Chain A
Amino acid sequence: MDTLNPPLSILQAVRRRDHIAHNAWQVFAFLFIGLALAFTLVAAPSGDTFYFRLATEALIYSGLAMSVDLLLGFTGLLSLGQALFFGLGAYTSALVLKHVGPSFWTAMAVTLLVSTAVGIVGGFIAIRARGVYFALITFGMAQVVSKIVYNTRELGASDGIMGIPVIQANFLLFKVDTAQAPAFFLTVLAMTMGLYFCIAYLLRTPFGRTLGAVRNNECRVPFLGYNPQLYKMLAYVLAADMAAFSGALYPMLRGFVSPELMYFAVSGDAVITVVIGGLGTLIGAIYGSVILTGLKSAIGTYTGHYQIVIGVLFMLSVIAFPKGLMGYLSPLVEKWLAGRRENP
């Protein structure tokens, strides 16, 4: 067959490879959307809310997991305190909805402003350090902030903030009531996948590729003409915004926020999610989040000690699938895509 085809130029060959790898992720992204819509069709007539709320929660946590993947999988920064920004988003959104006005867009906009500001401050503190020190600083910052929140009466202290009103998110053509589980699920699905496609796009630009260079060999990056500190800062702030963006949806789903949202358990789960789903794949964070949230809920109905089961499953999955679910599945899809191209 090869002899019949004119020889590919280097550029064409490189593009084709790039394209196939990228398309494999896209296949999984669209597959996910398909699965989510199928779930909606099946579950909506039953009038169930429990599973819709659980699925919505999985999506919300997947935004947090994607932010961890942006940092760890694409920039090489292990954040053990990403829940800080998730909780920050949740609290900001809760406060806006409760005290400023029940407006979806105001809550989102204020959240992003606050998370950008806090992200810049946090970034200045954290990105000076590398490797394990970066991880410890992010861990420490989240601990400090969660303890402050825990002890601040104005923020509800250990109880958190309750009684967040049900709101109507206005999307010009239609309105979504957060109390309507299927509709809100679809809204969060759209926002999560929108976030996914934006970040996936960004990772294919020179900006995103430079992050990859930082992950791969940070010392070499300045000698290519880029300031790695600047790129790490941008990645950190972007990840802060992503985590806060997802966190802002949480009070709309559950009607309350609590300091636990900032605890290490949440940060740690986000890292586990990314590793299970496939580090550095972005889409893996979404699948991983569904798996972990589903498992937690399923195991939680039998035993309160679900952390033990999750821990064991995590170890087994890391041993069996060191590249995570997507790392295991995507080569199969790539092969299939490549084969389809050669024999149209």
Chain B
Amino acid sequence: MTGGELPVLEVRDLTVSFGALTAVCGMCFSAERGKITSIIGPNGAGKSTLFNLVSGGIRPSAGTVLFEGADVTGWAPYKLIRAGISRSFQITNLFFELPVYENLRLAAQALESSTKSLLPVRCSARARERVDELIEQFDLGEKVHELAGYLSHGEQRRLEIAVVLACRPRLLLLDEPTQGMSHSDTQEIGKVIRKLSGDLSILLIEHDIDLVMDLSDHVVVMHQGAKLAEGTPPEVKGNPLVQSAYLGLSVHAGN
């Protein structure tokens, strides 16, 4: 860790329960600015729930979320977006009956001042430029008129990331961006994510351990709603606790 600098995100003692199940329990970690921090853990460990807590999808029952030093615990998602936190979804969550272009335009609209919200959309020049950039970056040029629901799975996953980037967030939360993707598509997404980091701080949930070890600056391992371990990829890989909790996956990756 670089140290000294204020972390972009700091989570303290975050807890939430669904009935009898405590999905996230006293979770603490922080993410460095401009770095890729990965959250890994077995199914049901509470990773997506942690994202929901940080992105405002659900309110924590205890704990604090600090974004760039400011307390944003329990803020509504639309406020957090405006503050600079944007998230993608594990299960593709797009406007399936709207064209690709409109999906991106809606997301980029947040860049415009609200004074333009009653002018025709063609006046939103900043949003338009942003959409054109993203179409280029995510290679969706041939599909702009296609309804999002008609895209292939891989294209939908790319659009999901593009939509999240549209509002130029400072902290990006990616929930299994490569979920269900082919190996080559996964590599492509990996490259995109690496390119994004630096300007952007990224929090990544990912099951592809090789990708995680390859991309991450810092890895946090979750197990049963709590933090099991954290460290650099090699530290985590070598941690016996992680090895036993993670069904030997990291042992495999280490070989």
Contact = CB atoms under 8 A, between A and B. Distances in A.
Interface of A: 10-11, 13-15, 17, 201-202, 204-207, 209-210, 212-213, 216-217, 219-227
9 contacts: A13-B144, A205-B120, A207-B117, A209-B121, A216-B98, A219-B93, A220-B93, A224-B81, A224-B107
B106 A209 contact: yes
Contacts of A225: 78, 81-82, 109-110, 167
Given A219-B93, A224-B78, 8 more contacts: A201-B120, A202-B118, A205-B117, A206-B116, A212-B98, A224-B106, A225-B167, A227-B78
Contact of B121 (A17, A204, A221): A204
From B78, B132, B145, residue with most partner A Cβ within 10 Å: B78
Given A206-B109, A210-B109, A213-B106, A226 B78 contact: yes
B14 to A, nearest CB: 19
Contact of A217 (B57, B96, B167): B96
Nearest to A17: B145
Contact of A207 (B57, B95, B118): B118
B95 A227 contact: no
A225 B82 CA distance: 6
A220 B166 CA distance: 14
B76 A209 contact: no
Given A206-B116, A222-B76, A224-B167, A15 B98 contact: no
10 tightest A-B CB contacts, nearest first: A225-B110, A225-B81, A222-B77, A216-B95, A206-B117, A222-B78, A207-B117, A227-B78, A206-B109, A14-B101
Contacts of B105: 209
Main secondary structure of the interface of A (DSSP, over half): helix
Point out which of B97, B122, B145 has the most chain A C-beta atoms below 10 A from its C-beta. B122
A22 to B, nearest CB: 10
A223 B55 contact: yes
A220 B167 CA distance: 14
A204 B121 CA distance: 6
Contacts of A221: 78
A218 to B, nearest CB: 10
B81 A216 contact: no
Contact of A209 (B82, B94, B102, B135): B102
A10 B107 CA distance: 18
A213 B118 CA distance: 16
Given A14-B144, A220-B93, A210 B106 contact: yes
